[in-house]
């Protein structure tokens, strides 16, 4: 992987002008002139352009999503804006100010070791000035990065430049509070860095209860965040906490092992995630460092290595403890606004698809926003452009930039936290790899036609590589369709059911799908499977090598694809690819074409509702318009 830290983007800040509010904030922090100069160059305050906007939308009724492009949004910047200003402010009329720090104490089970039973969560809150008996709901971001010098995100009382500043300046004035919370073992929270385990989960739940129980709170708490900070909302939702009424996970995890292993195949970072990536968090040389000696902190590396060797849970319940979704479906009574980049290399989109459909099937009110960005927020044009390569999202730029996102959040939080205004539309906004946005009632979508292509047939002919997949990933079969007679639209979770023989019990297959125009090919999707898990799921399989033919029931990572007429679809098979490790049970794999099939869920665009989005007018967007 290019980055070892799950949420490295959190340390990025926006260059730009400083408002009076931010200069006051720097003074309050007692910054030196040098630090102030750095802060001036690096931070980004986002309230000023709102003063230049015409207010055209009433909070009593919202413009439908498909008509938002007709509204007067401010679109010439590196993030999105709400349509109108709210009236609440911080102390002395400030639009941006320091948060107030608090500790939340709770009881940790003794078996958690470390600081147990005396758990203590560190958090900061921003509460606007209110009159009389007014109360407000709170929006919170929980994560491991506040007060951590190693990632340079600043103190927990400082508004996060990646998300906190936007919420404080744009959402709080409409009648909300905001909180930043350090998970256990990070920042000023005690105990050990538990990597989403029980101690962390209990600390998250305790902080949610505290936020919903303050005298300034209306009792409703919403959680939002990206990556690690987008995983803590799933943790909180497991408890059925009465105060948690909505969550907005952005590229978050429904489970730790579910992220880093796919059908038994291991990502490169997977074996070292607990201690190698996050182990130093919370260790700062003080007397409380002994609180890091927790059972799971010690077990983490061995469990990760064992999972690579055997593909599953070697012993104990390390991974089961860190799987959230089933408990969410059983206990959660709130709503979910699920946001995911379809080209996310860090938190792959199978965290969101088909999760969104499981939410619907369990009666949870949910919305999905799935665009062709990678590990990003939906409204960051420069970052999106910089990180979108050929076949990795650039074809959907700048249409992928959602300059209506902050307005979308305001409408969502107003309904689900304040219980005011019309209910937001519940469904999935999905963007194709070529940039077109449309509505679906669920995703993978309904009303599709399955296209089945047999390997080695005239529809998907063998074009080289023989039939042997070598363990060193140097060679393997290649297949390609004839030029398409018409445009082809497909998406969701394509499948590859491939019959194979193996030299020993083991082997791995990486499948790459490409859209080719002659010799020019772009990535459209990929799949990975350790053949010990060839039936799919978590159960290891066995078979008789050499003579025993097996079928690998592979499923691609989620994709939404348009292939133009005249292009071909190319399928390449190797033993590994992307950021996946070779199998610990590597062996030669021989593909049997007969009966092996690629299965695509296709649809006619005339049966779908497409729509235009608010156009980004930042210079990077204008430079890349078709």
Going along the chain from its start, the domains and CATH numbers come out as: 8-440 (3.40.50.1820), 449-602 (2.60.120.260)
Strand-pair category, 495-502 with 550-555 = antiparallel
Cβ(188)–Cβ(119) under 8 Å? no
Helix axes 198-212, 228-237, angle to 10 degrees: 80
Cβ(278)–Cβ(448) under 8 Å? no
- Name the region of 175 (left: φ>0; alpha: ψ -120 to 50; beta: rest): left
Strand-pair category, 265-266 with 261-262 = antiparallel
- pLDDT at residue number 29: 36
Q: Please provide residue 302's backbone torsions phi and psi, each rounded to the nearest 5 degrees.
A: -65, -40
- pLDDT at residue number 305: 76
Q: Report how far apart, in Å, the C-alpha atoms of 472 and of each of 261, 467, 530, 549 are.
A: 20, 15, 14, 22
Q: How does DSSP assign 271-317, residue by residue? A: GGIIIIIHTTTT-SSSGGGGGG--HHHHHHHHHHHHHHHHSS--STT
Q: Residues in the chain with pLDDT < 70?
A: 1-60, 150-152, 275-277, 279-293, 311-315
Tell me the C-alpha distance between 503 and 293, whole Å.
44
- pLDDT at residue number 275: 65
Q: Please provide residue 28's backbone torsions phi and psi, each rounded to the nearest 5 degrees.
A: -60, -30
Q: Which of 133, 187, 132 is nearest to 155 (CA)?
A: 187
Cβ(435)–Cβ(396) under 8 Å? yes
Q: Which two tokens stand for residue 331?
A: 């206990």
Tell me the C-alpha distance between 251 and 162, whole Å.
15
Cβ(269)–Cβ(1) under 8 Å? yes
Q: Please provide residue 570's backbone torsions phi and psi, each rounded to the nearest 5 degrees.
A: -115, 135
Predicted structure pTM score: 0.90
Q: How many CB atoms lie within 10 A of CB 146?
A: 29
Token pair 């709080």: residue: 172
Tell me the C-alpha distance between 528 and 2, whole Å.
19
All residues at 6 or more sequence positions from 201 whose CB lies less than 8 Å from its CB, including other chains = 235, 238, 239
Q: Kindly report the CA angle at 248 between 141 and 414, in degrees rounded to 5?
A: 95
Q: Report how far apart, in Å, the C-alpha atoms of 5 and of each of 227, 276, 350, 469 are.
A: 10, 10, 20, 32
Q: Please provide residue 276's backbone torsions phi and psi, each rounded to the nearest 5 degrees.
A: -70, -35
Q: Please provide residue 430's backbone torsions phi and psi, each rounded to the nearest 5 degrees.
A: -120, 140
Tell me the C-alpha distance between 192 and 189, whole Å.
9
Cβ(135)–Cβ(120) under 8 Å? no
All residues at 6 or more sequence positions from 37 whose CB lies less than 8 Å from its CB, including other chains = none
All residues at 6 or more sequence positions from 140 whose CB lies less than 8 Å from its CB, including other chains = 123, 178, 179, 180, 181, 207, 208, 211, 221, 222, 223, 224
Distance of CA 323 to the CA centre of its chain: 16
Q: 452 - beta bridge partners? A: 599
Helix axes 20-29, 33-42, angle to 10 degrees: 140
Q: Which of 344, 393, 395, 350 is nearest to 372 (CA)?
A: 393
Tell me the C-alpha distance between 532 and 523, whole Å.
27
- Name the region of 187 (left: φ>0; alpha: ψ -120 to 50; beta: rest): left
Cβ(598)–Cβ(494) under 8 Å? yes
Q: Please provide residue 105's backbone torsions phi and psi, each rounded to the nearest 5 degrees.
A: -95, 140
- Total residues belonging to the chain: 626
């Amino acid at each position: 992987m290019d980055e070892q830290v799950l949420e490295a983007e959190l340390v990025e800040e926006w260059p730009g002008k400083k408002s009076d509010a931010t200069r006051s904030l720097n003074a309050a922090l007692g910054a030196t002139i040098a630090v102030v100069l750095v802060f001036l160059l690096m931070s980004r305050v986002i309230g000023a352009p709102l003063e230049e906007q015409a207010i055209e939308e009433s909070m009593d009724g919202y413009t439908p999503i498909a008509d938002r492009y007709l509204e007067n949004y401010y679109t010439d910047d590196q993030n999105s804006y709400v349509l109108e200003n709210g009236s609440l402010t911080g102390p002395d009329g400030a639009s941006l100010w320091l948060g107030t720090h608090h500790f939340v104490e709770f009881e940790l089970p003794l078996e958690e070791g470390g600081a147990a039973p005396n758990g203590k969560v560190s958090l900061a809150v921003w509460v606007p000035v209110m009159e009389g008996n007014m109360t407000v709901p709170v929006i919170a971001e929980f994560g491991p990065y506040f007060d951590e010098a190693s990632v340079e995100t600043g103190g927990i009382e400082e508004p996060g430049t990646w998300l906190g500043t936007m919420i404080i300046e744009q959402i709080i004035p409409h009648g909300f509070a905001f909180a930043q919370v350090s998970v256990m073992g990070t920042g000023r929270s005690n105990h050990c860095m538990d990597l989403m385990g029980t101690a962390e989960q209990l600390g998250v739940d305790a902080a949610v209860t505290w936020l919903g129980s303050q005298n300034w709170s209306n009792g409703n708490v919403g959680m939002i965040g990206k990556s690690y900070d987008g995983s803590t909302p799933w943790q909180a939702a497991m408890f059925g906490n009465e105060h948690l009424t909505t969550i907005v996970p952005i590229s978050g995890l429904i489970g730790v092992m579910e992220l880093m292993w796919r059908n038994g195949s291991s990502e490169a970072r997977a074996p070292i995630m607990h201690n190698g990536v996050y182990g130093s968090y919370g260790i700062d040389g003080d007397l409380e460092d002994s609180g890091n000696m927790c059972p799971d902190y010690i077990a983490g590396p061995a469990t990760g290595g064992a999972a690579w060797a055997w593909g599953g849970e070697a012993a104990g319940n390390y991974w089961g403890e860190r799987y959230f979704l089933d408990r969410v479906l059983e206990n959660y009574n709130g709503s979910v606004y699920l946001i995911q980049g379809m080209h996310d290399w860090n938190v792959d989109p199978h965290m969101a698809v088909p999760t969104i459909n499981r939410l619907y099937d369990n009666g949870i009110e949910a919305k999905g926003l799935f665009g062709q960005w990678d590990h990003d927020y939906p409204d960051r044009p420069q970052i999106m452009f910089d990180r979108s390569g050929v076949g990795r999202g650039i074809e959907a730029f700048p249409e992928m930039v959602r300059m209506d996102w902050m307005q979308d959040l305001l409408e969502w939080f107003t309904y689900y936290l304040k219980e005011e205004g019309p209910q937001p539309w519940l469904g999935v906004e999905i963007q194709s790899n070529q940039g077109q946005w449309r509505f679906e009632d669920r995703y993978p979508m309904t009303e599709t036609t399955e296209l089945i292509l047999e390997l080695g047939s005239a529809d998907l002919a063998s074009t080289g590589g023989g039939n042997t997949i070598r363990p060193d990933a140097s060679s393997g079969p290649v297949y390609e369709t004839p030029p398409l007679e018409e445009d082809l639209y497909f998406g969701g979770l394509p499948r590859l059911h491939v019959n194979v023989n193996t030299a020993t019990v083991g082997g791995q297959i990486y499948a790459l799908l490409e859209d080719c125009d002659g010799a020019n090919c772009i990535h459209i999707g990929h799949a990975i499977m350790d053949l010990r898990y060839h039936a799919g799921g978590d159960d290891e399989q066995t078979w008789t090598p050499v003579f025993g033919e097996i079928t690998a029931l592979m499923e691609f990572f989620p994709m939404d694809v348009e292939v133009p007429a005249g292009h071909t679809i190319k399928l390449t098979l190797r033993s590994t690819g992307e950021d996946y490790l070779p199998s610990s049970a590597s062996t030669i794999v021989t593909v049997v074409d007969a009966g092996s099939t690629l299965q695509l869920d296709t649809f006619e665009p005339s049966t779908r509702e497409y729509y235009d989005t608010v156009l980004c007018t930042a210079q990077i967007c204008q430079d890349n318009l078709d």
